[in-house]
């Protein structure tokens, strides 16, 4: 499955390079919904909430009520996850709160599981320099995705795995990393970060991994009509 991305910052649809530098702005949320109408699911990330500088709650609600969405960014309480599901969000993406200084934050994930069915949870495994990064990719942990992925399986229905080193750079992704993650879990995996060509998407599909695509769509490098047919 191909999942187009809508990233929100300061009330606008944007695309960033490695989660920091804004490369471009897209259309309005309504315009992006129309462009992505041919896809079964859309990924929505509230970047302001992810880095703790604000939120785009009204836009998230607007999108969640009009499309099948997976939503993340700043989901750091079970109550917020529950609220998103109640809005109609299909899957909630949890990143920072799933981890503590020493590894997996089991108390939080157990609380989350009491509020939302685990099948509706995607845990974000965002890797930069080989280590999981949190808080909008601003802080690095001391552990890798490969080290914790199996420990996280009981708490989620799948994983959103972003290769941050290539995010937004249009240089392809690290298929070897995704292959190692695929070998480590039978859970659903969605890949993100540097996915640039149809060949990238086909290689991920051969691994039974979905592709979340952003920059390559917004710049026109990947054709939406062609992607929708896939």
**Active site residues per annotation:** 7, 126
Q: Which helix (H) or strand (E) holds 198?
A: helix 198-206
The phi, psi pair for 201, rounded to 5°, reads -65, -40
> What is the CB-side half-sphere exposure of residue 29 using CA atoms within 13 A?
24
Find, among 203, 217, 181, 170, the residue nearest to 5 by Cα: 217
Q: Quote helix, strand, coil % in the chain, to nearest 5.
A: 40, 30, 35
> What DSSP assignment string belongs to 33-67?
HHHTTTSS-EEEEEHHHHHTS---HHHHHHHHTTS
């Amino acid at each position: 499955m191909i999942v187009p991305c809508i990233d929100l910052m300061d009330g606008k649809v944007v695309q960033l390079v490695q989660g920091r530098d804004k490369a471009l702005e897209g259309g309005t949320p309504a315009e992006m919904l129309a462009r992505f109408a041919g896809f079964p699911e859309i990924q929505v990330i509230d970047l302001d909430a992810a880095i703790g500088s604000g939120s785009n709650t009204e836009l998230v609600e607007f999108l969640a009520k009009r499309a099948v969405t997976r939503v993340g960014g700043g989901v750091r309480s079970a109550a917020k996850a529950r609220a998103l599901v109640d809005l109609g969000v299909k899957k909630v993406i949890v990143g920072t709160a799933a981890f503590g200084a020493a590894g997996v934050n089991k108390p939080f994930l157990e609380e989350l599981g009491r509020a939302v069915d685990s099948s509706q949870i995607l845990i974000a495994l965002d890797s930069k320099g080989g280590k999981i990064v949190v808080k909008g990719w601003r802080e690095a942990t001391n552990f890798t995705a490969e080290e914790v992925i199996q420990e996280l399986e009981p708490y989620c229905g799948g994983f959103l795995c972003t290769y941050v080193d290539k995010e937004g750079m249009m240089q392809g992704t690290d298929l070897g990393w995704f292959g190692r993650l695929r070998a480590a879990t039978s859970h659903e995996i969605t890949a993100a970060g540097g996915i640039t060509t149809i060949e990238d998407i086909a290689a991920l599909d051969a691994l039974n991994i979905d592709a979340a695509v952003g920059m390559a769509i917004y710049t026109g490098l990947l054709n939406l009509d062609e992607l929708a047919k896939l």
